[in-house]
């Protein structure tokens, strides 16, 4: 299999958790979950208490909290939780270290071309999902690819983050993504990869190495730019 002369031989990479950030994030998630459950209990108690709030208002609050808890339960039960991602010569493995089980394995041979691919599109794409959080639009870049499941091509979107409240962030996420890109190059060169993925996730297209320094510099520059904008706004509105 040919590879770029600057690229190093493919080596397996497993994700490493960013411990303190994961602990903080997990505590926040648990606190929000407890707050949601507590709000539902309070709304039920209000139905049987003497209060000036109209009965329809109490029922409305109960319905809202039931929906919130339903969404929370769905998110908890949705899919299988994995804590570790490993990219090796066989493919991509999603593993749950608490249950000691392999949640999912994607072999390189299971990846397929996008059956709906047209001129200018790719088999492995960059997709951006977005939504509103507290009035602000938040977006996230993801991979999207196709693979065979039970004989049928299905698509998968992947951020290369953990799917467990206490294992969301990886210290070496960039290296895991770089290993995946290098694996595609070495084991599935027939698949067409969106070049924007290299730029978005700071992967050198020649060496297939993660450009950590460039990513850090970009992050710091973004913070500095935001600070300057806020300083200018504060100066003119104070």
Q: Which residues of the chain have pLDDT under 70?
A: 1-8, 51, 75-80, 119, 130-138
Query: Is this model's pTM higher than 0.75 or not?
Result: yes
Rounded to whole angstroms, the Cα distance separating 129 from 139 reads 5
Alpha-carbon span 187 to 3, nearest angstrom: 10
In this predicted structure, what is the pLDDT of residue 236? Answer: 81
Provide the pLDDT for residue 80. 67
At residue 105, the pLDDT reads 95
pLDDT at res. 134: 43
Provide the total of helices (H) and of strands (E) in the chain, helices listed first. 5, 8
Give the pLDDT confidence score for residue 6 in this predicted structure: 54
For residue 167, the 8-state DSSP code is S
Spell out the residues 6+ positions from residue 19 whose beta carbon is closer than 8 angstroms to its own: none
Spans of all domains in the chain: 13-17+83-211, 25-77
Residue 130 is encoded by which pair of tokens?
């977005």
Specify the pLDDT at position 49.
77
Q: What is the pLDDT of residues 59-81, one digit of tens each?
A: 888 888 888 888 877 766 665 68
Query: What is the reported pLDDT for 178?
Result: 96
**Pick from 197, 170, 24: nearest CA to 95:** 170
Q: Which pLDDT belongs to residue 133?
A: 45
Query: What per-residue string of b and e applies to 87-124 under the rule 16 or more CB within 10 Å gives b?
Result: beeebbbbbbeeeeeebbebebeebbbbeeeeeeebbb
Tell me, rounded to whole angstroms, the distance of Cα 215 from its chain centroid.
18
User: What distance in Å separates the CA atoms of residue 86 and residue 63, rounded to the nearest whole number?
Assistant: 42
3-class SS at 42? helix
pLDDT of residue 39: 87
pLDDT digits (tens, 9 = 90+) for 88-123: 999 999 999 988 999 999 999 999 998 777 767 899
């Amino acid at each position: 299999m040919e590879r770029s002369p600057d690229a190093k031989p493919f080596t397996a990479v497993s994700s490493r958790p960013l411990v303190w950030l994961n602990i903080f994030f997990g505590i926040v998630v648990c606190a929000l979950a407890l707050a949601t459950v507590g709000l539902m209990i309070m709304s039920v108690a209000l139905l049987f208490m003497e209060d000036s709030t109209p009965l329809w208002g109490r029922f409305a609050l109960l319905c809202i909290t039931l929906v919130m808890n339903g969404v929370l339960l769905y998110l908890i039960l949705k899919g299988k939780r994995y804590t570790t991602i490993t990219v090796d010569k066989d493919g991509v493995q999603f593993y749950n270290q608490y249950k000691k089980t392999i949640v999912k394995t994607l072999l390189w041979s299971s990846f397929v071309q996008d059956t709906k691919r047209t001129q200018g599109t790719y088999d492995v794409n960059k997709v951006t999902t977005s939504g509103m959080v507290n009035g602000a639009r938040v977006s996230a870049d993801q991979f999207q690819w196709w693979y065979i499941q039970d004989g049928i091509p299905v698509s998968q979107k992947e951020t290369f983050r953990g799917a467990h409240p206490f294992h969301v962030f990886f210290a070496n996420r960039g290296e895991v993504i770089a290993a995946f890109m290098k694996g595609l190059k070495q084991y599935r060169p027939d698949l067409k990869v969106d070049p924007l993925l290299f730029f978005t996730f700071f992967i050198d297209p020649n060496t297939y190495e993660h450009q950590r320094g460039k990513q850090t510099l970009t992050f710091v520059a973004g913070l500095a730019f935001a600070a300057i904008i806020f300083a200018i706004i504060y100066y003119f509105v104070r």
